[in-house]
Amino acid sequence: MEFDSFAAGQRGTLFWHAHISWLRSSLYGPILILPKLGTPYPFAKPYKEVPIIFGEWFNSDPEAIINQAMQTGAGPNVSDAYTINGLPGPLYNCSAKDTFKLKVKPGKAYLLRMINAALNDELFFSIANHTLTVVEVDAIYVKPFDTDTLLITPGQTTNVLLKTKPHHPNANFFMSARPYVTGQGPFDNSTVAGILEYEDKLRSLASAEFPANLPQEVDRQFFFTVGLGTNPCSKNNLSGTKWNKGTSILGAESHPLHLHGFNFFVVGQGFGNFDPRKDSKNFNLVDPVERNTVGVPSGGWVAIRFLADNPEAHTSWGLKMAWVVLDGKLPNQKLLPPPADLPKC
């Protein structure tokens, strides 16, 4: 699908997704907004642009999973794998053939348009022995900076420049993502991997003069798997605090905050309790990053500024439990009627 125009002034990477219950878990895709014709990027033009979308894979029907959670009151079952562009990679059982491979040429610059379409988990991403240069977040250019590891929360997009090595004609490198988990419940503690594959890989001569003596039969096969417990022990203690008196947040975890329909400025961020007298003095009011999604640190805080002229907010976990703003009584409090030519179901 191609559009001639999009939101005024926007250019960069966004994404679309289904908005019906947990169909969002598998129905999504990138939105790439190109600059106006003749308008260059504020950085060197890349050799190639590649969308990288992180997602989650469930062996069961996602609708059945969320419905079960709604009946029991517990959290939904965790995903069985993470994916890169829909592929889980070689680190899961019997999934080696379903591995995303990014073929690159030595000495080139690639623009990776990265999207975290996972439902619940923030993800760390890195490429072995390579540096990433962040140039854009949530369709807003930023001052470029280099990093080896990138943290991207659900709903966020980040564009990075990848400069390939000048002399690696025979090398492969892992690109991987794994969750940043701060909650106390079970989570998908696994790693999704893809392969950065340099062109012109070395191959054997495989000739009569230089035969490739590869064994054709295998006498013994080995398979090793390592896992850690996913259900931590509960914290049992007696503090003497009466019920509903000064109860602290016991399940503090890092969580994405998204304002649907417009952007905001991240003026501050930190750990611990927010101190308005001290922390407000350190707000960045000169060149704060502009985003539409931000990760609130575990046991910490984020300060944002925005113009509240477009009310509506949601998270994927809340689609089944969302608060709906109903039409008001007055004409200026009602939603506009649908267009007359809108196709009916």
Query: What one-character-per-residue DSSP string does 146-202 give?
Result: EES-EEE-TT-EEEEEEE--SS-TT-EEEEEEEEE--SSS------EEEEEEESS--
What tens digit of pLDDT does each residue of 104-151 get? 998 999 999 999 999 888 999 999 999 999 999 999 999 999 999 999
Residue 317, pLDDT score: 52
Per-residue pLDDT at 243: 61
What's the mean pLDDT in 263-280? 85
φ/ψ of 279, rounded to 5, equals -70, -30
Mean pLDDT, the chain, whole residue set: 80
Distance from C-alpha of 19 to C-alpha of 33, rounded to nearest angstrom: 21
Poorest-pLDDT segment among 77-81, 153-157, 221-225: 221-225
Pick the CATH number of 12-198 from 1.10.1060.10, 2.60.40.420, 3.40.190.170, 3.30.420.10: 2.60.40.420
Helix, strand or coil, per DSSP, at residue 272: coil
- One-character DSSP codes across 2-20: --S--STT--EEEEEE--S
pLDDT score at 227: 44
Q: Is 142 exposed, middle or buried (0-12, 13-18, 19+ CB in 10 A)?
A: middle
8 A C-beta contact, residue 89 and residue 54: no
Alpha-carbon gap, residue 69 to 73, rounded angstroms: 6
Backbone angles phi, psi at 222, to 5 degrees: -120, 135
Query: Residue 329 pLDDT more than 80?
Result: no
Residue ranges of the domains in the chain? Answer: 12-198, 255-273+281-323
Q: Which residues lie across from 108 on neighbouring strands?
A: none
Q: Is the pTM of this model over 0.75?
A: no
pLDDT at residue number 228: 43
